[in-house]
Amino acid sequence: MSDKNIVLNVNGIEVIYNHVILVLKGVSLQVPEQGIVSLLGGNGAGKTTTLRAISNLLKGERGDVTKGSIELRGERIENLTPADLVNRGVVQVMEGRHCFAHLSIEDNLLTGSYTRKDKGEIAANLDKVYTYFPRLKTRRTSQAAYTSGGEQQMCAIGRALMTNPSVMLLDEPSMGLALRSLKRCSTSSKT
Please state the domain count of the chain: 2
Determine the Cα–Cα distance for residues 191 and 186; give it in Å rounded to an integer.
Answer: 9
Q: What is the pLDDT of residue 50?
A: 95
> Do 159 and 111 meet the contact criterion of CB atoms below 8 Å apart?
yes
Does residue 50 or residue 1 have the better pLDDT? Answer: 50
Residue 98 lies in a domain: no
Q: Does the pLDDT value for residue 37 go beyond 80?
A: yes
Res. 176 pLDDT band, cuts 50 70 90: low
Contacts of residue 47, defined as CB under 8 A and 6 or more positions apart, other chains included, come to: 39, 40, 41, 171
Q: How far is CA 68 from the centre of its chain?
A: 22
Q: Does the pLDDT value for residue 112 go beyond 50?
A: yes
Q: What is the pLDDT of residue 63?
A: 92
Residue 32 lies in a domain: yes
Instruction: Supply the CATH number for residue 22's domain.
Output: 3.40.50.300
Q: Does the pLDDT value for residue 94 go beyond 80?
A: yes
109 and 68 within one domain: no
Q: Residue range 112-129: average pLDDT?
A: 91
> Do 8 and 72 meet the contact criterion of CB atoms below 8 Å apart?
yes
The 10s digit of each residue's pLDDT in 45-75 is: 999 999 999 999 998 889 999 999 999 999 9
112 and 167 within one domain: yes
Q: Does the pLDDT value for residue 179 go beyond 70?
A: no
Q: What is the pLDDT of residue 188?
A: 46
127 and 65 within one domain: no
Whole-prediction pTM: 0.83
List the domain range (segments joined by +) for residue 118.
105-188
Q: Does the pLDDT value for residue 190 go beyond 60?
A: no
84 and 7 within one domain: yes
Q: Does the pLDDT value for residue 25 go beyond 60?
A: yes
121 and 61 within one domain: no
